[in-house]
Structure 1
Amino acid sequence: MPERHLLIVAHAPSENTRLLRDAAVRGASADTIENVQVRCVAPLEATPEDVLQADGILLGTTENLGYMSGALKDFFDRCYYPVLEKKQGLPCALYIRAGHDGTGTRRAVETIVTGLRWTWVQDPLVLRGEWQPGFVGSVEELALYMAAGLDAGIF
């Protein structure tokens, strides 16, 4: 099977969100994954070319005032039209570090992803409330699932 490319675009402004980003990279890069190249880029640095090269995308954001991070919104603003016609059906997943309930953040990202016509590989993972060490394992598992699906040709 040819090599696949998983792009992780994760906003990580704090130590805890850096732990989540690193868990995503670790999960997607597990030893059991053979044919997936993982690239992790901060939202403000990610380009349309990064998305065009990807066979799947994992998004990570904080909940900011009931919305996605400004950095992830900036990523969508810059990449939406350049990738719109070329990446329809792109498998995607999302994790949200939500201090409250994450509902507004989830709705906002889902609206944009619907417009892009990307395909959810599973429901968004919303990590609600006070920090819990188990959040790290949940993100690592999500990224492993995404990479394994790409590796097996499922998505």
Structure 2
Amino acid sequence: MSRLLIVHHTPSPHTQTMFEAVVSGATDPEITGVEVVRRAALAATAVDVLEADGYLLGTPANIGYMSGALKHFFDTVYYPCLDSTRGRPYALYVHGNQGTEGAVRAVESIVTGLGWEKAAKPVVIMGEPSKQDTQACWELGATVAASLTG
């Protein structure tokens, strides 16, 4: 069975809505053979990363950058996982009220260093998530989970 690790920092109702939609898509009953593991960014470990086959990352944009919690996650796992996780798929969702580009750029820079492969375009939402935004998050979760079934 494949394992999808969702690493998230969910400090607001809007990021919670996005997180729940991503989890719902990733755990859709039609997707079989994938275990979905959820970890808060401050609790996720290198062992979690090493045991996973793919990753979904979620963060708010704080002052134009990823959250400190997600940055802490990367600081913790980068070198222990550097050689062992290359080529694994990942995707990203970001919520912000302004300046989300820096958060996306920072995450993409780090995962490029890790050698992870983008499985889907990032979902970036400004303000309150609409039904379309929530659907995009659901599709993101489902897409990454389904990519691990093969």
Query: Taking structure 1 as the reference length, what is the TM-score of the superposition?
Result: 0.93
RMSD, aligned CA: 1.0
Name the counterpart of 1:96.
94
Select 2:75's aligned residue among 62, 72, 77. 77
1:132 correspondence with 2:132 = no
Q: Which residue of 2 aligns with 1:120?
A: 118
**Identical aligned pairs, as a percentage?**
46
DSSP-derived class of the 1:6 partner: strand
Counterpart for residue 18 of structure 2: 20
CA distance in 2 between partners of 1:82 and 1:126 (Å):
29
Q: Please point out which of 55, 65, 68 is paired with 1:67.
A: 65
Structure 1's unaligned 5+ residue stretches are: none
**Matched pairs, number:** 149
Shift of 1:121: 0.8
User: Equivalents in 1 of 2:118, 2:129: separation in Å?
Assistant: 25
CA distance in 1, matches of 2:25, 2:120: 16
* Structure 1 position 125, deviation (Å): 1.5
Deviating beyond 4 angstroms after TM superposition, the runs of 4 or more aligned structure 1 residues are none
**Contact 2:7-2:56 within 8 A present in 1 as well:** yes
AA at the equivalent of 2:40? A
Whether the 8 Å CA contact 2:59–2:93 is kept in 1: the answer is yes
Q: TM-score, normalised by structure 2?
A: 0.96
